[in-house]
Amino acid sequence: MLAVGAVLAGSAGGWVWAPYSDIVTRLVPGQQRPRTLAIITTGTSSGLVALGGLALLAAAGSWRLVWVGVALAAVVAAALNLRLVPRTRPGPHPEGRHGVSSLARALRLPAAYSVVYFAVVVICFTYAAEVLDDGDLPAAAVAALYATIGVTGVLAVTTGALVQRPGSLRVAALCLVTVAAASALLRPAGDSPVATAASACVFGAGYMTGSAVLAVWTAELVPDRASAAFTGCLVVGAVARSRRRPSPAR
């Protein structure tokens, strides 16, 4: 039951997130699209802040009640989307322009970035709590870690402005370096509150900006099929992540 709930919750975010790429490319003027997509993607930061608070509630009470609360919040979010999000009609897809093969060619770099990005992010999320548990930090450190990631992740709203200067490729490369630096801080973070806070701050900025730049990048390359392009890169990254086998614990 836990696995079913995790799969349902994990896939639901993708069903909601990706269609916004099509909505933005069809309704928002070209110069404002990167900024709009970055703001939409950065909304995840508020969820991470809430996750920190929910972790404390789950530890103090029942995790089942927390899951029920999250499920009810998801229903409210779905209702708000149905009520407020503008309706759009399917755009024309000329044959031969952006079919599967041409779409794959156009997205080679974003897809490769997605694979590396997802791999590093999974390593951070998977082992951060374990490293903290091995140290002498208080039990609330894990909740504070998620909240800090969410707060510093708000910096990702600037992604739209960033890509207009060095370009999406360079911003994506910078995000990978940033997330890798946060991963390197995980080991000393086990015994040091300062290193823990530094790792969370660096990771939050790189993690959320890395998500935002992927949405912006795919919409730039394939504006007439932005949602399909974004979804394709997410699927490639997720599949590559699932095929990775964790090394034995030391």
Asked if the structure places residue 58 within a domain, the reply is: yes
Q: Is residue 100 part of a domain?
A: no
- Place 188 in a pLDDT band, splitting at 50, 70 and 90: low
- Are 185 and 199 in contact, with CB atoms under 8 Å apart? yes
pLDDT digits (tens, 9 = 90+) for 4-18: 877 777 777 667 777
The verdict on residue 69 lying in a domain is: yes
- pLDDT tens readout for residues 123-160: 887 777 677 666 666 767 777 888 888 999 999 999 99
pLDDT value for 98: 54
Residue 213 forms part of a structural domain: yes
In the predicted structure, residue 232 carries a pLDDT above the cut 90:
no
Task: Show the beta-strand stretches assigned E in the chain.
Answer: none
Percentage above 90 pLDDT, the chain: 26
Q: Give 122 or 203, the one with higher predicted confidence.
A: 203
Contact 74, 13 (CB under 8 A): no
Domain span at 189: 32-82+105-243
Task: State residue 250's pLDDT score.
Answer: 38
Number of compact structural domains in the chain: 1
- Let me know if residue 201 belongs to a domain: yes
When the pLDDT of each residue in the chain is averaged and rounded to a whole number, the result is 82
- What pLDDT score does 206 carry? 93
User: Do the domain assignments include residue 179?
Assistant: yes
Could you read off the pLDDT of 47-68 as tens digits, one per residue? 888 877 887 777 777 788 888 8
In a domain, 21, yes or no: no
Q: Report residue 245's pLDDT band, with 50, 70 and 90 as the boundaries.
A: very low
The mean pLDDT of 110-131, rounded to a whole number, is 84
The two structure tokens encoding residue 168: 């999406």
Q: What is the mean pLDDT of residues 186-198?
A: 72
The whole-number pLDDT of residue 73 equals 85
- Residue 233 phi, psi (nearest 5): -70, -40
Q: Is the dihedral of CA 215, 219, 224, 225 positive or negative?
A: negative
Proportion of the chain above pLDDT 70, given as a percent: 85
pLDDT of residue 198: 86
* Model confidence at 110: pLDDT above 60: yes
Contact status, residue 208 vs residue 121, Cβ threshold 8 Å:
no
Residue 123: what pLDDT?
Answer: 81
Residue 41 lies inside a defined structural domain of this protein: yes
